[in-house]
C-alpha cells in the first residue's frame, strides 16, 4: 500500500501565482535603447517597426461613411467608380470598399479625409433632397467600428 501523502494547509491563490512575470518589451523602448547604444544595426530595427507605423497611420472608423441600398446587379469596380463620381461633388473620397453579403445585399464604406469631412458629408446628404443613384435612394450613416472590423476580415 502506498504511503499517505502529507496533509498541508492549503494556501489560497491561483495556479498562475507561481509563474514568473516579465513585462513585454514595447517597440518605442527598444528603439530608445538602440539610440542610446548607437548600434550600427539600427537600420535593421527600423525596417521591422515600419509595419507598426503603417498600422498607426490607418484611418479611424469615424472618418468612414456607410452607404446602404446599393444596386446588386452592377460589377464591383463599376459600382466603386460610379459611387466615387456620385459623391465627388460633396467631398474628396480617399477610398471606397464595396461589400456584398451572402443574401445579395450590397453596401459600401466610403473613406473620407477625416472625421469632420465624413460628418459634413452625411449632414449635407441628409439636408439636401435625395439625388437618385441608378434609380435608388441611397442611405448614408456614420460607419460603426463593429461593421468595419467585420468587413476587414473578409
Q: How confident is the model at residue 10 (pLDDT cuts 50, 70, 90)?
A: low
At 96, is the pLDDT very low, low, confident or very high (cuts 50, 70, 90)? very high
Enclosing domain of residue 135: 61-152
Query: How many domains, in total, are found in the chain?
Result: 2
Kindly state whether residue 96 falls inside one of the protein's structural domains: yes
Same domain for 67 and 50, yes or no, is no
H or E, element range at 118: helix 115-127
pLDDT of 31 > 60? The answer is: no
pLDDT top residue among 53 and 64: 64
Domain co-membership, 47 together with 75? no
The residue behind cell 476580415 is 153
**In-domain check, residue 7:** no
Render pLDDT for 103-134 as a digit per residue (tens, 0 to 9): 889 999 999 999 999 999 999 999 999 999 99
Q: Report the C-alpha gap between 113 and 14 in whole angstroms.
A: 49
Residues 96, 145 within the same domain: yes
On whether residue 17 sits in a domain, the answer given is no
Give the three-state DSSP class for 106: strand
More confident residue, 86 or 44: 86
- Tell me the CATH number at 81: 3.30.70.330
pTM: 0.57
Question: Looking at the domain assignment, is residue 18 inside a domain?
Answer: no
Task: Count CB atoms within 10 A of the CB of residue 42.
Answer: 12
CA distance 118 to 64: 6
Widest distance between CA atoms in the chain: 90
Q: Please give the grid coordinates belonging to residue 102.
A: 451572402
Q: What share of the chain has pLDDT > 70, as a percent?
A: 55
pLDDT band at residue 22 using 50, 70 and 90 as cut-offs: low
pLDDT of residue 56: 43
Looking at the predicted structure, is the pLDDT value of residue 32 above 70? Answer: no
Helix, coil or strand: residue 67: strand
Q: Is residue 124 part of a domain?
A: yes
Average pLDDT, the chain: 75
Tell me: do 40 and 101 sit in the same domain: no
pLDDT band with cut points at 50, 70 and 90 for residue 148: very low
Of the three residues 16, 42, 57, the one that is the final residue of a domain is 57
Amino acid at each position: 500500500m502506498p504511503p499517505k501523502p502529507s496533509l498541508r494547509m492549503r494556501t489560497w491563490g491561483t495556479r498562475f501565482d507561481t509563474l514568473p512575470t516579465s513585462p513585454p518589451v514595447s517597440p518605442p523602448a527598444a528603439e530608445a535603447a538602440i539610440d542610446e547604444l548607437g548600434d550600427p544595426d539600427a537600420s535593421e530595427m527600423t525596417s521591422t517597426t515600419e509595419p507598426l507605423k503603417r498600422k498607426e497611420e490607418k484611418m479611424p472608423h469615424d472618418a468612414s461613411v456607410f452607404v446602404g441600398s446599393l444596386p446588386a446587379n452592377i460589377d464591383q469596380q463599376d459600382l466603386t467608380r460610379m459611387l466615387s463620381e456620385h459623391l465627388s461633388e460633396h467631398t474628396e473620397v480617399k477610398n471606397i470598399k464595396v461589400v456584398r453579403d451572402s443574401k445579395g445585399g450590397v453596401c459600401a464604406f466610403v473613406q473620407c479625409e477625416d472625421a469632420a469631412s465624413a460628418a459634413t458629408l452625411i449632414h449635407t446628404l441628409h439636408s439636401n433632397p435625395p439625388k437618385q443613384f441608378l434609380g435608388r435612394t441611397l442611405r448614408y450613416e456614420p460607419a460603426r467600428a463593429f461593421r468595419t472590423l467585420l468587413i476587414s476580415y473578409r
